[in-house]
Amino acid sequence: MYPATIKGILLCAALALFVLPRGHAGELTLATWNLEHLNDTVGEGCVPRTQADYAALAGQIEALDADVVAFQEVENEAAARRVFPAGRWDIAFSTRPFTGAGPPCYDRPEARLNHQGTGFAIRGGLEWRRHADLEDIAAGSRNYRWGTDVTVTLDGRDLRLLSVHLASGCWGEGEDRSARRQRTCATLREQFDELGEWVAERRSEGSAYVLLGDFNRRLAVPRDWGWRALAPRSTRLSLLTAGIETACDPQFTEFVDHLVANPAAAGMLVPGSIREAPRLGPHPDHCAVAATFLLE
């Protein structure tokens, strides 16, 4: 997609700006990244990529220096392995049934929208276990993504993680008022209700947890209904992306990719560690967001 020389410059810039030294024992860095139609085959899908493109993405993932990456919009585990190589990463991929080729791509009508899955890449050697996917978040439709649910353990401390990718098209107040967005917004409300149920279950367990992913909603906007649905007064959650400016996509001035932590997890957050990765050329339209937690 880009000349090799430009790829090299972009990758070096990402490494220079974003690589942080490994912290002391007990630190766990989490990231979330919608990888924008990451397919397993060179040249296919809504965002066709060359081998060099996969290499550039893999390089920026290493620049994140994260221990766990919640990913979204990935076709299958083979696609994930394009940028999270075996031996260095474990993969927990959503068990949502494969949907096959879908409707035409928005700006490439000759291509088809492929299956989109959520999941986690977890650095090799880190202890973790899998929970059942959050299937109900699909709102009864085969076209919406399931949530991937894992617990990681570091120095004897557990942190529950949920990777999500919610319905697109109801990003804020403007869409709420649009008649043609009514159905999408209703679906998104249902998905937030299901997330609220998951949160309630974790509260009853006393778990420390973080929700990560593409919420497709500007939750940091004051009085947003999405945030109120997810975090009513009875639930004290922290929106870690609040108050941070995003420079990833000029179309958006507010994050739609978020990290949300309950009090137990927010208390582990390393101050000043929340950061957005630099943009890698004109694609993808999402950038990774990362934060570091101290589990001790």
- Beta-bridged to residue 21, according to DSSP, are none
The answer to whether the CB of 94 falls within 8 A of the CB of 120 is no
The answer to whether the CB of 19 falls within 8 A of the CB of 143 is no
Least reliable range by pLDDT among 18-27, 195-204, 206-215, 257-266: 18-27
252-168-199-135 Cα dihedral, nearest 10 degrees: -150
* Mean pLDDT in residue range 289-296: 94
Q: How confident is the model at residue 10 (pLDDT cuts 50, 70, 90)?
A: very low
Count structural domains, the chain.
Answer: 1
H or E element, residue 34: strand 27-38
The set of residues, in sequence order, having a beta carbon less than 8 Å from that of 236 and lying 6+ positions away, is 262, 263
In this predicted structure, the answer to whether residue 25 has a pLDDT above a threshold of 90 is no
* 3 state DSSP class of 289: strand
Among the residues of the chain, which ranges form H helices?
4-18, 51-64, 77-83, 173-176, 182-205, 225-230, 263-266
Q: Which residue segment(s) compose the domain that 174 sits in?
A: 4-294
In the prediction, which pLDDT does 35 show? 95
In the prediction, which pLDDT does 4 show? 43
Q: DSSP label at 273?
A: -
Q: How confident is the model at residue 107 (pLDDT cuts 50, 70, 90)?
A: confident
Amino acid at 39: N
The CATH number linked to 125 is 3.60.10.10
Average pLDDT over the chain, rounded to an integer: 89
Spatial separation of the C-alpha atoms in residues 248 and 250, rounded to whole Å: 7
Task: Provide the greatest CA pair distance for the chain.
Answer: 53
The answer to whether the CB of 92 falls within 8 A of the CB of 130 is yes
Letter string b/e over residues 212-244, b meaning 16 or more CB atoms within 10 A of that residue's CB: bbbbbbbbbbeebbbbebbbeeeeebbbbbeee
Q: Which two tokens stand for residue 35?
A: 């990888």
Residue 2 half-sphere exposure, CB side, CA atoms within 13 Å? 19
